[in-house]
Amino acid sequence: MSALLEIDNLSIGFDTAQGMLLAVDRLSYRVEAGETLGIVGESGSGKSVHALAIAGLLDHPAARILGGSIRFEGRDLRGLSRREWTQIRGRHIGFVFQDPMTALNPLLTIGQQLKAPLKYHLGLSEREARQRCRELLDQVGIGEADKRLRQFPHQLSGGLRQRVLIAMGISLGPKLLIADEATTALDVTVQAQIVDLVMALKAQLGLSLIWISHDLGVVARLADTVQVMYAGRILERGPVDALFYDPRNAYTLGLLRSLPRPERQRLQAIPGQPPDLRTARPGDPFAARNRYATPRCFIEQPPLRQVVEGEAGHLSASWYDLRSIIAREGGI
Ligand SMILES: Nc1ncnc2c1ncn2[C@@H]1O[C@H](COP(=O)(O)OP(=O)(O)O)[C@@H](O)[C@H]1O
Ligand SMILES: [Mg+2]
């Protein structure tokens, strides 16, 4: 059976003055109906660029899809016309992109922004659209709907603006919701409320979810499956517990060790910088920052493959045996 979303060998480059920047490098993964996939990785790992490609919103002509396919319910999205895209976007796949201040138009009221797609896509009348907006605000936990609908984005707190964006993301009844750094700009308490809200909506509406964040802590709270990206590639993927308690990739371990924990005196940030994406990367892209790297890691790119016997869903791209390294060091 075909997956809800299936990305196969997707590569995306940017033409820059210094040459081609390879932002997404032969990315393949699938999302099944009902699944919550968390995607993590440091800034610059290709999370947003590939999400924009799924949304058909890549900035042309600077960005170029160099190869591969993006299929939604078996249909290849790459060949779609602009008009077909507007049908898919919102109706089949909902998006909540980072930074609610720029994602909302400052010059339009919340009501105007929420109503427009309802009228355009669903053909609702002004009255029907307004009623639907009230329901949507209620669904995302915003009270005093009529007052809020008349307000402009700057009159709302960051948390409320994010709730409005979620309302927009689900307003056309998509099957898949993609949220990119949806809680990054918010403080921790509000972040937790938004995560709870999205999880409740997911259950209520039967959504599949891709939650993208640089913060492994947030992703761990909601994902079934976690995928760790680095330099446009997936370095590890597996059930959330497997990645937390039995990581097999040194980059995942680095992210885990940089999470704040009560018993830890200080955070251990991953030393070094992500690689320059404009140059060819023959080996493991993380090798240069990995103190466990073997000579082979610098020469040959490890394939993403099953690493634990009997755990078909746990994949890592690594040549070294992280398990024995962790055991030697006395734990994660
Ligand atoms: N418009 C653009 N022009 C050139 N390079 C870009 C552009 N947008 C993103 N990139 C580059 O693509 C890479 C991946 O970026 P992005 O997907 O935004 O990372 P993140 O994982 O933080 O979301 C980065 O190196 C970034 O600098
Ligand atoms: Mg991003």
Residue 282 included in any domain: yes
Residue 273 vs residues 44, 231, 282: alpha-carbon distances, Å: 10, 11, 17
Residue nearest atom 19 of ligand 1, based on CA coordinates: 44
Residue 170 included in any domain: no
Q: CB of 189 closer than 6 A to ligand 1?
A: no
Residue 241 included in any domain: yes
Residue 173 included in any domain: no
Q: Which range marks the domain in which residue 237 is found? A: 5-102+178-191+206-329
> What is the separation of C-alpha 3 from the centre of its chain, rounded to a whole number of angstroms?
17
Reading the block at residue 238, the tokens are 């597996």
Residue nearest atom 26 of ligand 1, based on CA coordinates: 44
7 alpha carbon – ligand 1 mean position (Å): 19
Residue 110 vs residues 105, 161, 236: alpha-carbon distances, Å: 9, 9, 40
62 alpha carbon – ligand 2 mean position (Å): 17
Residue 14 vs residues 25, 57, 77, 94: alpha-carbon distances, Å: 12, 14, 20, 25
Reading the block at residue 69, the tokens are 């396919």
CATH of the domain at 221: 3.40.50.300
Taking residue 316's Cβ as centre, other Cβ atoms within 10 Å add up to 27
Task: Tell me the per-residue pLDDT of 179-236, one tens digit each, with 9 for 90 and over.
Answer: 999 988 888 899 999 999 999 999 999 999 999 999 998 999 899 999 999 999 999 9
Residue nearest atom 9 of ligand 1, based on CA coordinates: 49
Residue 118 included in any domain: no
Residue nearest atom 3 of ligand 1, based on CA coordinates: 14
Q: How far apart (Å, rounded) are the C-alpha atoms in residues 212 and 55? A: 14
Which atom, in ligand 1's list, is nearest to the CA of 49? Answer: 17
Reading the block at residue 97, the tokens are 């992109």
For residue 205, the surrounding DSSP H or E stretch is helix 188-205
**Ligand in closest contact with the CA of 42:** 1
Residue 95 included in any domain: yes
Residue 187 included in any domain: yes
Q: Count Cβ atoms within 10 A of the Cβ of residue 198 and give its class: 0-12 exposed, 13-18 middle, 19 or more buried.
A: buried
Strand-by-strand arrangement of the 75-76 sheet: 19-31, 5-16, 63-72, 75-76
* Residue of 91, 83, 88 lying closest to 72 (CA atoms): 88
Q: Which residue has the tokens 């493991």?
A: 284
Per-residue pLDDT of the chain (332 residues; tens, 9 = 90+): 679 999 999 999 999 998 999 999 999 999 999 999 999 999 999 999 999 999 888 877 889 999 999 999 999 998 888 888 888 888 999 999 876 666 899 999 999 999 999 999 999 999 999 999 999 999 999 999 999 999 999 999 989 999 999 999 999 999 999 999 998 888 889 999 999 999 999 999 999 999 999 999 899 989 999 999 999 999 999 999 999 999 999 999 999 999 887 776 666 789 898 888 998 888 999 999 999 999 999 999 999 999 998 989 999 999 999 999 999 999 88
Q: Which residue has the tokens 């993301």?
A: 169
Question: What is the domain count for the chain?
Answer: 1
Q: Which residues of 218-238 are buried (b: 16+ CB within 10 A; e: fewer)?
A: bbbbbbebbbbbbbbbbbbbb
Residue 75 included in any domain: yes
Q: Which residues surround ligand 2, an ion (CB under 5 A)?
A: 47-48
Residues ≥6 apart with Cβ < 8 Å to 97: 51, 103, 165, 180, 181, 182
